[in-house]
Amino acid sequence: MNMTMKRIFTSSFMGWVLLAAATVAYFSFKGKDALKFGIDLVGGSYITLEIDQNDVIKTELYDKIKSFQAILDQAAIELESKPVFQNNMLSFVFDSKQQAQEAQVLFRHDYNQLVYTVKENELQVSLSEMYLNHLISDAADANIHILERRLNGLSVAEIHISKQDNRFIVVELPDVQDPEQAKTMIGQSAIMEFKIVEDSAPSRQELMDKYDHELPEGTMIVSGSSRGSKGKMYYLVPDYATVSGKFFKNAKVDFGGELQTELCVHFEFDDEGGKRFHELTSRNIGKPLAIVLDGQIVQVATINSAIGKNGLIQGNFKADEAATLAKLLKSGAFKAKVDFISERQIGPTLGQESVNKGLLSCVIGLFFLLVFGIYFYRLSGFFAVLALAYNLILILLFMSLVKATLTLPGIAGMILTVGMAVDASILIYEQIRECLSRGLSITQAVQDGFADAMMVILDANITTFIVAAVLFYFGTGPIQGFAVTMMLGIISTLVTGLFFLKSIFKMYLTTFHVSKLSI
């Protein structure tokens, strides 16, 4: 008996037993954090965002002003006044109708996707409906990419974000019941703009009084605080910024100030942003520059020299404030503003019931497979069921390690994997039976049976894995959940079928000196 136990404990099978024990200990230690569950299992929040159409139009047309001005300068055509943006269109006023028509021809040559209308000496530029829909769809795609990076950066992983009807974005946040918390998780628009300060005053009313309650064309009032000032200040700034956070390349928490002890956020522009920022600061040396984040000024500083690709944001930040701002800026600003359209919550009741039924179906399936295996393959059938149980353990372990989300379709994928694992065992057993019928020894028959079945099992599982990978790449939400468990299930099937099951047979044959295999 002691020799038998010694052989069992020194066999390769004990390594699998230790791995199973370690897996159980791992799940016990991690508790409910061991596995991530989808919104269909634990409930959560659905939030619908809509791309701000007016912001898309304004951004696109304002970005064209500089190019239009360069075209006019090259053609020696002068404007009667600065371009004005109103009613979602740009308006250029010339000295004559002829000049307006000439400008129309020049503009259309370079930007034929825009709509041009000449009224007397005025040229109006707007977006065609087709081009606007294209821009809105692009903005939605870009915002989805930003949201994915932002939520993952804020340690809110395993979310699903999708686009609907080009202009809507649906965000699914599992296990979040508070809509306000959900909005906080989605974060700010993080639209950072750099604007020259034209004027300032301690109150909005005082600033308005300076201009007889009629602000200069193309300007707006923004509130915020300035270094050295007490309380809130109000600033007159341009209503459009040529330099914004969409040109950010990187952002991180750093130290600045006179003694290099003040927390700040260091930012770096890409090449285009660096060029624009250098042009803005070189033309406005000595003037105050406002850094505006989501409509609020976080810092005002005087431009002492031209600045290139790098800069600092100082605002008496606390550590968590600086870290959050850096993450938001690093993830990127929304390409277009979004509005919260709707929010709804679903409870975990249905999900818990689905989990219970999924587990019950696995237990029932394993029981029937046990009956089937013992009836057709006797003791070897029992070994196959052990491999199936180990298969499920490995799937859960892999899902936990790669931080995959278990969804309701994922549970279906797990159950399907069990059936595929049975196929692998049957192929192996039939090969072993064939080898035994040819008069091979039990040890040789087992060895050849596994070797002969290996290529067939690999071929079948690799083709299925490719299909699952395609589903994961092109699918969304539930389809991806199904594909993930399928791929992990295929890997665990190969591991348990070709290695774990073989180690059981090897331990059994060498320990008990079997003269007749029960198969």
Quick one: pLDDT band at residue 189, thresholds 50, 70, 90? low
Nearest Cα neighbor of 350 from 43, 38, 47 is: 43
Mean pLDDT, residues 178-186:
67
Q: Which residue shows structure tokens 């008990």?
A: 512
Q: Which fold has domain 2-43+348-512?
A: Multidrug efflux transporter AcrB transmembrane fold (1.20.1640)
The answer to whether 102 touches 68, Cβ cutoff 8 Å, is no
| R_g (Cα) of the chain, nearest Å | 33
Query: In this predicted model, what pLDDT tens digit does every residue of 312-332 receive, in sequence order?
Result: 776 667 777 777 667 666 666
Helix residue ranges, H only, 85-199: 97-110, 129-153, 179-186
Q: What is the pLDDT of residue 130?
A: 92
The answer to whether 156 touches 185, Cβ cutoff 8 Å, is yes
Roughly what angle, to the nearest 10 degrees, separates helices 13-30 and 2-10? 70
Q: Looking at the structure, give the CATH architecture of the domain made up of residues 53-127.
A: 2-Layer Sandwich (3.30)
Quick one: pLDDT band at residue 230, thresholds 50, 70, 90? low
Residue with more model confidence, 333 or 508? 508
Q: What is the pLDDT of residue 38?
A: 78
Quick one: pLDDT band at residue 157, thresholds 50, 70, 90? very low
Q: What angle do CA 407, 488, 357 make, to 5 degrees?
A: 35
Q: pTM (2 decimals)?
A: 0.62
Q: Looking at the structure, give the CATH architecture of the domain made up of residues 188-342.
A: 2-Layer Sandwich (3.30)
Quick one: pLDDT band at residue 182, thresholds 50, 70, 90? low
Query: In this predicted model, what pLDDT tens digit does every residue of 387-421 receive, in sequence order?
Result: 988 998 999 999 888 888 787 788 878 878 877 78
Nearest Cα neighbor of 424 from 469, 388, 448 is: 388
Query: In this predicted model, what pLDDT tens digit does every residue of 240-269 receive, in sequence order?
Result: 888 877 777 777 888 876 666 778 878 788
Q: How far apart are CA 76 and CA 320, in angstroms?
A: 53
Nearest Cα neighbor of 158 from 36, 285, 303, 317 is: 36
Give residue limits of the domains in the chain. Answer: 2-43+348-512, 53-127, 188-342
Percent of the chain with pLDDT over 90: 22
Q: Could you count the other beta carbons within 10 Å of the beta carbon of residue 15?
A: 11
Residue with more model confidence, 290 or 346? 290
Q: What is the pLDDT of residue 153?
A: 47
Domain 2-43+348-512 and domain 53-127, same fold? Reply is no
Quick one: pLDDT band at residue 477, thresholds 50, 70, 90? low
Quick one: pLDDT band at residue 154, thresholds 50, 70, 90? very low
3-state secondary structure of 19: helix
Mean pLDDT, residues 47-68:
89
Q: How far apart are CA 57 and CA 114, in angstroms?
A: 11
Phi/psi for 510 (5° steps) reads -80, -25
* Number of residues written out for the chain: 519
Q: What is the pLDDT of residue 101?
A: 92
Considering only 3-12, 422-431, 461-470, which range has the smallest mean pLDDT?
3-12
3-state secondary structure of 200: strand
Q: What is the pLDDT of residue 340?
A: 85
3-state secondary structure of 248: strand
Residue with more model confidence, 352 or 500? 500
Q: Could you count the other beta carbons within 10 Å of the beta carbon of residue 240?
A: 18
Q: Is the pLDDT of residue 115 over 90?
A: yes
The answer to whether 389 touches 504, Cβ cutoff 8 Å, is no
Q: What is the pLDDT of residue 226?
A: 53
The answer to whether 91 touches 120, Cβ cutoff 8 Å, is no
Quick one: pLDDT band at residue 214, thresholds 50, 70, 90? confident
Mean pLDDT of the chain: 83
Most confident region among 89-93, 200-204, 207-211 by mean pLDDT: 89-93
Roughly what angle, to the nearest 10 degrees, separates helices 13-30 and 501-512? 130
Residue with more model confidence, 468 or 40? 468
The answer to whether 41 touches 352, Cβ cutoff 8 Å, is yes
Residue with more model confidence, 67 or 229? 67
Q: Is the pLDDT of residue 368 over 70?
A: yes
* CB-facing half-sphere around the CA of 145: CA atoms within 13 A: 12
The answer to whether 478 touches 438, Cβ cutoff 8 Å, is no
